Structure 1
Amino acid sequence: MADSLLSLLFGPDGLSPPEWLRLALAGGSRSRPCCQICGSYGHRRRDCTAVGVIAGVIKSGLRAGESSSGRGGPWRGGRRGGEGGGGRGGPWRGGGLWRGGRGGGGEGSSRGGGHKGGRGGFSPTTTQFQGDAVLVTEMDKMTISGDNDNETIALSKRVLAFRDKQWVFPIRKEYNTTSGQPTYVIANYYELKTSTKTKIVRYVFEMTGPNRSKEMVDSFIQREFPAVVEYLCPDYGGYLYAPEEWTPGKQHFTYPAGDEFEGQTFTLKSRLVLNVDGYRDYLTASDVPTSSILPLAHEETENCVIPVAFYAVSMALNAIIIRNPRIKNTYLIHEKGNTMYDSRKGKVLSQDPCSISGLDTGHSAQIIVGLHASVRPGSQRCLVNASKVTNLYYRTLPMEDIVNLREGTYGQGVNLENRLLDKTEEKGVNQCWTGVLIRVDLPDGTSQHRVLKRVHTGNAQQVIWETREGVQVTVEMYSIRMGRPLRFPKVQLLSFKPQRGSIGRCEFPIEWCRAAEGQKFKVRLAASGSRDMIYHSASAPFEYLATLKDEFSNMFHRAQDNLTLSRFGLDFGRELLKIQARTLAMPRVMMGRNSTADIDSDNGSWRPRGKSFHSPAALLPYILLEIRTGARAVRVDPGVGKPFKGLIIALLGKCRGYGMARTEVAASGEFTLWLTSSRDDPRVDIENLFKGRIEGFKGGAAGVQVPLIFCLLPGSDSRYYNAIKRAGDVLSGVLTICMDGNKTSNQRIARDPGSYCETLALKVNLKCGGINHSTQSDRVLQRIFPELENNTVMLLGADVSHSGRRDLPSISAIVGSYEPSHSRLYSEVAYQKNQEMIENMAEGVRSHLDRFHDKHKTLPRFIVMFRDGVSESQYRQVLDREVVAIDAAVDRAFLQSGIQRNPERPKLVVLVVGKRHHTRFFPPGATDKRHKTLPGLVVDRAITAIYEKDFFLQAHAAIQGTPRPAHYFVIRDDMDLSDTQIQELVFTWSFSFGRSFRSVSYAPPAYCADLACGRARAWIQHKVDDIRGGENLYPASASGSNSSSDITAVAQANLHGIAGDCGRLHEDLKETMWYI
């Protein structure tokens, strides 16, 4: 019985029960040299009190289950538990291993007991295992040691002991959730072991002068403190960390004229001893600060999820672990933070990654693989999150070899030509290279590093330089005099920003220039570039895991080979963390006529064969539009090509099969727009077509009915897509569905367009007002709130999209649901200044509440908001600014609606959704690409927040590579939900995304807000490209410098100018899912 229970506990994944536990249960005395329960080397397993406690608990549960009557047996136990349990004894529900009973036993109280024990006190003289149990695996020591080595106290008990403190965010109601199937996963985290030697001091490090690079900081330390280079750890952000006993000989450093450091000054001041012991106590829940538990972060880089005093320790540890690889490996590109790329492992792209008119950028970029490693607070221990990263960098070749002036000629050896760049080519070079640090190799053998400003107006035959002798010559003649004649003298020079403190030349020939090393590629990728990136960076879990282990060992090294770690008393764990997890059961997805979708639990998808949409709509009047290039002059012809018409016939047949009406009606109009060249901007011609032809199909005796435009584009060039979407969404107020001509001409799709048409049919039904499928999340809610009625929950999602430059506006989107299915989400979008916090949150939420009230004549009882795109440093800002705005909108709507209809103010739950993190999970024993973690995987321990409600949820199956789970952090919870309830609801809602018959990677409200931001970005992209290309579209009253006030003035002018020129969503589309 003992063995059968143990195999049940350890799951079917091949883990065998530890020998020491088998022996303890059998009364044996054999053991190994060290204790793997409490992590101590001071005694052996047989002497550890915890062994006896575990064995006693399991034995008592077995006795209760085997000998009791009424609900007996090992699964539920008897009515009265045995020695270690309360009522409902036995190993699974009694005072045994999995869940304490209600009566309390000899060792528990009100609801005490086993591994999944809940409420209740515990005896100070005995040990209750009630957090994450230590026996799970040797690596997953989920308990912590008290002052006495023989006393182990569960983490959940300690967390509950601090409930009376003033918490900023909701804290856990339970440390162990119980829903789903227990399992194990390997997480990409190593333990960072500290010791009594870990004593760290922090100095404020100030540097002034013309060179403020990381390399200058390293050179200063090497010059002034050569004996302790490994022990002095700068964070390159204003601090220097050192061992506690180290002090600098002096604090201020200056250098005379003629010195290599001339003009540079360095200052070390404000010595502070960091509280490493307090940080350790915080992680182990031994103590929590009595002051404000989570003060507002003062800087964007500060993490407000842990107290500021302890965040300083985390920052120090990050600087320490990165020091050794930085000084030992000169080939590493050290980006901001703790990410490093191996410059030796660049891969050239297989195609042009961007859609820049007049320029093929494929030669300019390369994919480089690297490693990210950052210190994270974990439950009971300090962790290092290590992950493989991939990014796009400029190649360090001469610009004459990589500026390709012919689109679509990548790999054909066509590069620079000796002629003036035309306006399109000049704009393309500006878009691709403005703001990039360039190394200029001068004819005299010296080099300068300059930031590119734009393409200059003159070439080397026109621009005049003055020689040292005072003679004025052209740049071409100067090059000849210096013995380095130009090969492209007719090409315009490049204009650079002036160096600080210098009045030298700022225009240089393009053939003297190359990108400096370590420059991240700044251009927005097209669809083809994104596919290429995914193809090169995706790797199966077993490949990812093997690469991660090798790269981490080779790059970071452990203490015996790492002087920095050993000096600070630190070391990395030998193996990645193996932790408990759970796989949630698949939710129920409803199709038409109350039929249920058969979900494949391996990939979270379903095929609705023979089933209709949940609520099929009637097809709107539709128009066919085909765009072609290559004509001598722009013209519009009636009719479309046969392949396009055949694809539409197949699509309408698929819609008919899903129950949509009016699919047999012919198109209201058919047009082919012929354009002259793929290099010409199609925006004006497309807008003229919509205004002159398509708007005439709107209206009629029955009022405005929005037609649907099926548009076949000539390729994947984003300019066509952006122009169509702006014309339909903003100018004419018609719905559009675009199809890529390259994709539809694919032979596989041409032979069998079924799957492609299925994807399009989902969009068609949503745009026409239907519901594709419905998750029965109301059933989950009714289990929580039995009195719940339909239409009482509103889902909201919010996101902000940025342009990548401080002088360009951001776009915010707030989406909301008004139906119980939560499959239809309507969006409000707005332009705002470049910041993450949403300025119009109150207005956007109020608009959704008004529409909900108009539809249901009441307000929702509960509002659940998913906020996407904010970092941990911004959680408090979201709470203090955006949630306050939501409260104001709710209060106003509540007071206006009247107390008779809404006797209770709507309750609010706000979760932050994180996607851009570095956490990954792997199934134990994965050996090939078929082994992946399954949809529904939940991890809420070991690597999550110690006190607050947060969890990782992998709701989807990765189509390529290793799946990335979404991270959810609860910052407001008026509904007082348990961790289990929140996780089940979020997982259920992950199946409500209407555009696919599968679950999505994160909550659909946040997903749809991201889509709406992306669509609104298409409306303004032509203006953004013009500004990036060097055009001053909206002049501001600025002095011309790069000061913050000037950038603010330019940004304000650009915001108002773009908002005025590009317009907003057409009124006729506000009640539609226009962004899908």
Structure 2
Amino acid sequence: MEGGLQFRSYDSLPLISALNLVIQQHAVRTGVRVGKNKYFFPTSSQGFNLSPGITAFQGFYASVRPTYNQLMVNVNACMTAFIEPGNLADALLAFSRNSRGAMPTLPQALMKKVRVTTHHLGYKRRYNIRNIATTTARNTTFSHSKYGKISVEEYFFKEYKIRLKHATDLPVIDTGTKRYVPAELCEIEPGQPFRGKLDETQTSQMIKVACNRPIVNAEAIVGDGFQKLGLHPSTSPSTGFDIQVSQKMTEIPGRQLPAPQLNYRAGNARVDNGGWNILDVKFHRGAQIPSWSVLVVRDGQNVFQGPDDLRLRGLVQGFAAKMRKSGMTLPQSPPSLLLVDLPPPNQDPSRILALNEIRRTFKEHIEKAQGRKPAFVLVLLSRRDNYIYPGIKRIGDVELGVHTVHMQLSKVVDKEPNKQDQYFSNVALKVNTKLGGINHKLDDVAMRWLRKNTTMMVGIDVTHRGPDSKQGTPSIAAVVASVDRDFVQYHASMRIQQTEKVEEMLGELAEIMVERLQAYQAKNKELPERVFVFRDGVSEGQYNDVLTVELPQILKAFQRFSTKDRKSPYRPQLSIIICGKRHHAKFFATDSKFADKNGNTKPGTVVDRGITDIFGFDFYLQAHAGIQGHAKATHYVVIYDETRFTADEIQQGTHDNSYLYARATRAVSLIPPAYYADLACERGRCYLNDFLVDDKSSTTGRSQGDKKAEEQRNYEAARKSWGRGVSLNRPRFKQLALNQSFL
């Protein structure tokens, strides 16, 4: 730990793992482990209700970390959702009410593997839910040696004299090998984390209860956290190993980097606490909009009576005025107004009919315009829906090649003029960038480090299917790269790949990097002399995989440009920087003069000593302001470096670039190339949204071979659905691919 170079290759993982076993011994006995090194104590903690059946509990993360000259325990407060104990039938009915009648298939991912107990046998018996069937107790039948073919309802009455209350309105539970139990006879055991994806309302509630100010988190960690984790002397089992943990937080040195100057068309914006106002500012370069259209999606909430509704006309006119005021050029004539009425969600839970209606409306509009597509379509949504939004993105991007920009009517209708104007400004940021405009730039001083030589900034990310996705759903990989000297315009390449084959590593990186270099060359008539790669989404244990799998592919892409007409092989300087957001290091200001009004450390705070790697080059940068809750820095780790910038240059340059994110008027927590790669992955998830929710009722009782065959079928279906995506090779999609359609 003293940093001796002879120990650089020493593998400390076995020792750290052993120490974690000791440190976490008390929490293992008294709490519920969720994920790696996170412990929750639902039986002795105050919960926060997110929705009927779902409760959030605060817990704590604890892990031993080696730092220069000492070992530390990284402790952090965290929050997760748990399934409320109680009757399973009541839980399913609550889900049905909250999901507007989306029964019975959608609880599948929520309840799978949940532990339940039954008492109808005369004793307590525990089951793990394998699946939730699509049939009720009345219409689910099976063969029985005593009764012959019989329904589940009849069986429980004849065998146990139990008359079911929900024989016709709730599905039965498959506990394995087609053993069906009515939900009303099952009791959910306490202490089980919720494995599904929180809906919009639940997520909103979770944010409210989890967003605590730094002082609240500090008190929770030092007080409740130390006690429950067993780090307090009175509860610590580690004293028997002669291990003592300090009861105080460690003070480490840090400093605040200055904000860069931001250039708009008519001058500079004034930065205050990491943000700035653009209400009366014109974009650096406004987009040209030859035509645009408006699609009003009426989904049970008819905010507008029809196309002549004065509020609708006023909203459209107000947004058009905002675009002009921001510097965009658009026709004086009003846009075409399209209205589409969707069938009720309880009649169309997967929204297939709804999306077909939207698709038909889109196509008819383009046909009436004789194939002349609008530059973009403004989509007005009455509510956010897990199917409608991604479905429209797929229709626009993949099927029709039309930009779509969405507005939530709840955020803009009947709002105060200043709030509506601010919302219009935020949407205008997206429109201008999508259509080739430039919102703002950094001044020459901030760009000096990147302009010493021609440079391309690259962001890479991979997103995987969730636990509620269809088996075999592929991973989505995205690579974005800059094409201009101001680093405000990025183009993207996306691929799908079989998760089991590549895990987190990107499988076709050489081909994708060739695409990105070709785009840079086409725009600048030359290739970059330096390439910075910002890799998001990999854990500490995968750093070496990036070097052994992805680095060779990047170098292979460079070789593709080493043609005979070049005087020397093409080999730009390359640096690879990992961007980590999934760490648990949180910073607390030691004095109010170092904190903002919420108690967070100020934007531009950088830490590169005290808790960083013993041998490596890494730093923590909090470029953004903590708007709500406790601000979290990004951990940047330089794992490969040929550019040889100093630590100060890399840190200040990364900080300055955090002000270039096109969709915001404030610095963001993650450098834009990595942020854009994440956005591109999320857009790819929209294209495969049908595969991200598994509506199959049962996979129980099938052989491993059958499951593998289904995985392969799902993958092939996803690959077919993905098609060629948004590609430069498809003429009608060329402009969409060139611009930042993923924003």
Q: Shared fold (TM-score greater than 0.5)?
A: yes
Deviation at 1:434, TM superposition (A): 3.2
Equivalent of residue 553 in structure 1, options 226, 233, 248: 226
Deviation at 1:460, TM superposition (A): 4.5
Deviation at 1:643, TM superposition (A): 2.3
Q: Residue deviations 1:511-547, cap 9 Å, x none? A: 1224443333232233333222111100011111111
| Contact 1:833–1:1055 (Cα < 8 Å) also in 2 | yes
1:403 partnered with 2:76: no
The corresponding residue for 1:684 is: 356
Deviation at 1:883, TM superposition (A): 1.6
Q: Residue deviations 1:176-219, cap 9 Å, x none? A: xxxxxxxxxxxxxxxxxxxxxxxxxxxxxxxxxxxxxxxxxxxx
The corresponding residue for 2:237 is: 564
1:803 partnered with 2:465: yes
Equivalent of residue 614 in structure 2, options 946, 950, 975: 946
CA change 1:514–1:874 in 2 (3 A) is farther
The corresponding residue for 1:64 is: none
Equivalent of residue 298 in structure 2, options 607, 628, 632: 628
Amino acid aligned to 1:616:
G
Give the Cα–Cα distance (whole angstroms) in 1 for the partners of residues 661 and 155 of structure 2. Answer: 64
Q: Residue deviations 1:865-898, cap 9 Å, x none? A: 11111100111111111121111112212x1494
Equivalent of residue 422 in structure 2, options 741, 755, 780: 755
Deviation at 1:371, TM superposition (A): 0.5
Q: Residue deviations 1:216-272, cap 9 Å, x none? A: xxxxxxxxxxxxxxxxxxxxxxxxxxxxxxxxxxxxxxxxxxxxxxxxxxxxxxxxx
1:506 partnered with 2:179: yes
CA change 1:734–1:313 in 2 (3 A) is same
Equivalent of residue 311 in structure 2, options 631, 638, 643: 643
CA change 1:883–1:663 in 2 (3 A) is farther
Equivalent of residue 712 in structure 2, options 1049, 1052, 1058: 1052
Deviation at 1:990, TM superposition (A): 0.5
| Contact 2:491–2:737 (Cα < 8 Å) also in 1 | yes
The corresponding residue for 2:2 is: 284
Write out aligned runs for 1:120-269 (5 A). none
Give the Cα–Cα distance (whole angstroms) in 1 for the partners of residues 387 and 232 of structure 2. Answer: 54
The corresponding residue for 1:1017 is: 685
| Contact 1:626–1:673 (Cα < 8 Å) also in 2 | yes
| Contact 2:89–2:170 (Cα < 8 Å) also in 1 | no
Write out aligned runs for 1:516-915 (5 A). 516-558=189-231, 560-562=233-235, 564-593=237-266, 595-600=267-272, 603-608=273-278, 610-630=280-300, 639=307, 641-662=309-330, 664-667=332-335, 669-679=336-346, 680=348, 681=351, 682-694=354-366, 697=369, 707-745=375-413, 747-749=414-416, 752-776=419-443, 779-780=445-446, 782=448, 788=452, 792-805=454-467, 807-834=472-499, 835-893=503-561, 895-896=562-563, 898-900=565-567, 905-915=571-581
| Contact 2:484–2:523 (Cα < 8 Å) also in 1 | no
**Aligned partner of residue 389 in structure 1, secondary structure:** strand
| Contact 2:600–2:630 (Cα < 8 Å) also in 1 | yes
Deviation at 1:940, TM superposition (A): 0.7
Deviation at 1:445, TM superposition (A): 2.1
Gaps of 5+ in 1: 1-282, 295-306, 351-361, 415-421, 1033-1037
| Contact 2:52–2:94 (Cα < 8 Å) also in 1 | no
Q: Which has the larger radius of gyration?
A: 1
Give the Cα–Cα distance (whole angstroms) in 2 for the partners of residues 541 and 731 of structure 1. Answer: 46
CA change 1:1002–1:831 in 2 (3 A) is same
Q: Residue deviations 1:89-129, cap 9 Å, x none? A: xxxxxxxxxxxxxxxxxxxxxxxxxxxxxxxxxxxxxxxxx
CA change 1:507–1:728 in 2 (3 A) is same
The corresponding residue for 1:334 is: 33
Amino acid aligned to 1:959:
I
**Aligned partner of residue 580 in structure 1, secondary structure:** coil
| Contact 1:655–1:663 (Cα < 8 Å) also in 2 | no
Give the Cα–Cα distance (whole angstroms) in 2 for the partners of residues 923 and 698 of structure 1. Answer: 61
**Aligned partner of residue 107 in structure 2, secondary structure:** helix
Deviation at 1:721, TM superposition (A): 0.8
Write out aligned runs for 1:1031-1046 (5 A). 1040-1041=702-703, 1043=704
Give the Cα–Cα distance (whole angstroms) in 1 for the partners of residues 716 and 38 of structure 2. Answer: 37
Deviation at 1:1065, TM superposition (A): 2.1
**Aligned partner of residue 741 in structure 2, secondary structure:** coil
Deviation at 1:765, TM superposition (A): 0.7
| Contact 1:542–1:929 (Cα < 8 Å) also in 2 | no
Amino acid aligned to 1:615:
R
Equivalent of residue 452 in structure 1, options 130, 134, 137: 130
Equivalent of residue 347 in structure 1, options 40, 44, 47: 47
The corresponding residue for 1:479 is: 156
Deviation at 1:592, TM superposition (A): 1.2
The corresponding residue for 1:314 is: 16
**Aligned partner of residue 366 in structure 1, secondary structure:** strand
Pairs aligned (count): 720
Identity %: 26
Give the Cα–Cα distance (whole angstroms) in 2 for the partners of residues 768 and 586 of structure 1. Answer: 28
Q: Residue deviations 1:585-631, cap 9 Å, x none? A: 111211114x222111xx20111354321111122410111011459
| Contact 1:443–1:484 (Cα < 8 Å) also in 2 | no
Give the Cα–Cα distance (whole angstroms) in 1 for the partners of residues 281 and 233 of structure 2. Answer: 63
TM-score under structure 1 length normalisation:
0.63
CA change 1:486–1:599 in 2 (3 A) is same
Give the Cα–Cα distance (whole angstroms) in 1 for the partners of residues 370 and 378 of structure 2. Answer: 15
The corresponding residue for 1:1065 is: 726
Deviation at 1:314, TM superposition (A): 0.3
| Contact 2:296–2:340 (Cα < 8 Å) also in 1 | yes
**Aligned partner of residue 86 in structure 2, secondary structure:** coil
Give the Cα–Cα distance (whole angstroms) in 1 for the partners of residues 570 and 218 of structure 2. Answer: 51
Amino acid aligned to 2:464:
H
Deviation at 1:562, TM superposition (A): 4.2
Equivalent of residue 55 in structure 2, options 354, 358, 366: 366
Gaps of 5+ in 2: none
TM-score under structure 2 length normalisation:
0.90
Equivalent of residue 996 in structure 1, options 664, 682, 685: 664
Give the Cα–Cα distance (whole angstroms) in 2 for the partners of residues 750 and 513 of structure 1. Answer: 53
CA change 1:490–1:322 in 2 (3 A) is same
Q: Residue deviations 1:956-1007, cap 9 Å, x none? A: 0111101010011111111012211111111111011011111001111111
| Contact 1:833–1:1052 (Cα < 8 Å) also in 2 | no
Deviation at 1:699, TM superposition (A): 5.1
Give the Cα–Cα distance (whole angstroms) in 2 for the partners of residues 684 and 897 of structure 1. Answer: 52
Deviation at 1:346, TM superposition (A): 5.3
RMSD over aligned Cα atoms: 2.9
